[in-house]
Amino acid sequence: MVGKGNDAELRPIIEELRAGLNENDVLGSLLHELASQRLALQNAERRVRVAEAKLMLRDLVLPNVAKYAGVRRVQVDAGMPLRRECGFYAIEYDALGKPRRWTGPDNSFYFDINLDRSIPLRFILRLTGGQEAVRHKLRCFTDNIEIPLEPYDVAGNTNFEGVLFPREILGVTRLCFVVHETSMLLEEGGKETDARRVGVMFVDLLVEPVTAEEVETAVFRTTSVLEMNLPDAAIADTCEEAETESISPEPAGNLSTTAVFSDTEEEEDGEREGEI
């Protein structure tokens, strides 16, 4: 029952309803008003259920955001099972037994890594030395922009260093490198049909947090590169962003095994043996 204290609030509503009644069909007018009120109530209940579902989803997702935000330090080396679809040939070893890989047969290769992009990160790509032809012609793309690279030599290898700026999107980061040109490589004593089209000799890739001073320098370099170069259509297609549904397993230590890795190195090597 509605208390008498509510009469003052009910009176204008009653008057409004009375004014809307059809004197020739009072019952029909009342049914129409009742149906309108019921429809409004159902719509309100539906909006409440949607809001509750969103809150439930938020409560499920928020605790896991930090878990899937990605790592701040990761190292990928040539000894890991890298996929040929990412632009890598099978493992080879130098005279000291250290792993390395040729890239190819296309002129691009890439890494899909689940990184924490809430802070600036530095990456260092290390190639074997003696590849002067690519020293100033290797290019890097991520997040649809070109990242300037700074080459320098260390202990017989050539390093290419760049900086990744923060972004709001969670998920996999694709680091795509483009070689200016490839060449045919014929192993000593091999047949011409065994020749491979190769780009550069990959050693490893390191990603780690960067200092504020290095970020300032990187901003200047990136601005200059953006003013001078825009990726052509072919490069844009090759270095398109990683699919958001790519999933990275839990990192072991500081290593994040990502979509760039194949299931087994033996399977990948077997596929390579019959490839030209």
- What's residue 266's pLDDT? 43
Can you say how many angstroms the Cα of residue 72 is from the centroid of all Cα atoms in its chain?
14
Per-residue pLDDT tens, the chain, 276 aa: give them: 455 557 777 788 778 877 877 777 778 878 788 888 888 899 999 999 998 888 887 666 656 655 566 889 999 999 999 999 999 999 999 999 999 999 999 999 999 999 998 899 999 999 997 666 566 689 999 988 999 999 988 888 999 999 999 988 878 999 999 998 888 887 766 666 668 899 999 999 999 999 887 787 777 666 655 555 555 555 556 566 554 433 333 333 334 334 444 444 444 444 443 333
Tell me what pLDDT residue 76 has: 97
77 alpha carbon, distance to own chain's centre: 20
pLDDT at residue 101, rounded to an integer = 95
Distance from C-alpha of 103 to C-alpha of 86, rounded to nearest angstrom: 9
CA distance 152 to 155: 10
Cβ burial 221-258 (10 Å sphere, 16+ → b, else e): ebeebeeeeebeeebeebbebbeeeeebeeeeeeebbb
pLDDT of residue 14: 78
The pLDDT of residue 60:
67
